[in-house]
Amino acid sequence: MKPKHSIEVHNLSVAYNRIPVLWDIDFELPQGQIIGIVGPNGSGKSTLLKAIMGLIPLSSGFAKIYDKELNNVRDKIAYVPQRESVDWNFPATVEDVVRMGRYKKGKLFSRLSGIDKQLADEAIEKVRLTPYKDRQISQLSGGQQQRVFLARALAQGADLYIMDEPFVGVDVATEKTILDLLITMKNEGKTVVIVHHDLQTVSDSFDYIVLLNTRLIAHGPTREVLTEENLQATYGGQLNLLVKMQHLIKNTDFPIREKGFEDK
């Protein structure tokens, strides 16, 4: 019988040095949708993903994926961490990194099959990095580096994709490439859970959202949850400034990236 939810989180709390970062979080997420985890800086969004992935200890509660413990479904999950958390000076090419997505648990040193290599190449093509497949990852722009990790996740052939700020540091063209790819993944029945901060993108492209600020503010279909009352509860005094900044950026021709760092 097919599980009803992609992720369940119940009574989950996380504390650092006895200070709560997440407090009594409880929700269930649907399958086959693009889902946003949204909230201000320091609200616990990345911590929530790490807690779900078993990367940090919990103070209380638990999380399940497809109604099972994490260790029983790891092959169904692809995790894309924040770009800043990766050592991009590691001597590896684009192709090397993406092919890592084809290694199974316990078989890291086994040889990849021809099918594995083909699937890695197809993932590289999907993120439009084929011309750069032999390039060292340290030589890529920020947007290209982000696409490398997305390609690695795609190569895994997972059912659930968990991504921590995949749009940070990318230009408009890369953001559109990633969004188009996410929509294609959703249409193929995949579930995508993304930490994101841009309310406009969330409103336009996400099906379901979780509003978070240490505690759970609201969760549900985007149109139902993105209300002024919920946003005020999530962002508080930051909300007016956030809206003003979004309006300013929308109506001003700001460069996306510093000169010399344009994405290819």
pLDDT in tens, 125-175: 999 999 999 999 889 888 888 889 899 999 999 999 999 988 887 778 888
**DSSP character string of 145-184:** HHHHHHHHHHHHT-SEEEEESTTTT--HHHHHHHHHHHHH
Cβ neighbours of residue 24 closer than 8 Å, sequence gap 6 or more: 11, 12, 13, 60, 61, 215, 216
Domains of the chain: 7-228 (3.40.50.300)
pLDDT in tens, 35-48: 999 999 889 999 99
SS3 content of the chain, % helix, strand, coil (to 5): 40, 25, 35
Separation between Cα atoms, residue 40 and residue 171, nearest integer Å: 22
Joined together, the tokens standing for residue 52 give: 């779900």
Work out the average pLDDT over 221-236. Answer: 90
**Which residue from 87, 98, 86, 94 is spatially nearest to 136, judged by alpha carbons?**
94
Mean pLDDT (the chain, rounded)? 85
User: What number of helices (H) and strands (E) belong to the chain?
Assistant: 9, 9
pLDDT in tens, 59-105: 999 999 999 999 999 989 999 888 777 777 788 899 999 998 888 75
**Which residue from 207, 178, 210 is spatially nearest to 45, judged by alpha carbons?**
210
Asked whether the predicted pLDDT for residue 205 surpasses 60, the reply is: yes
How many Å is the Cα radius of gyration of the chain? 19
Cβ atoms of 67 and 5 closer than 8 Å: yes
Say what the pLDDT of residue 109 is. 55
Work out the average pLDDT over 177-206. Answer: 90
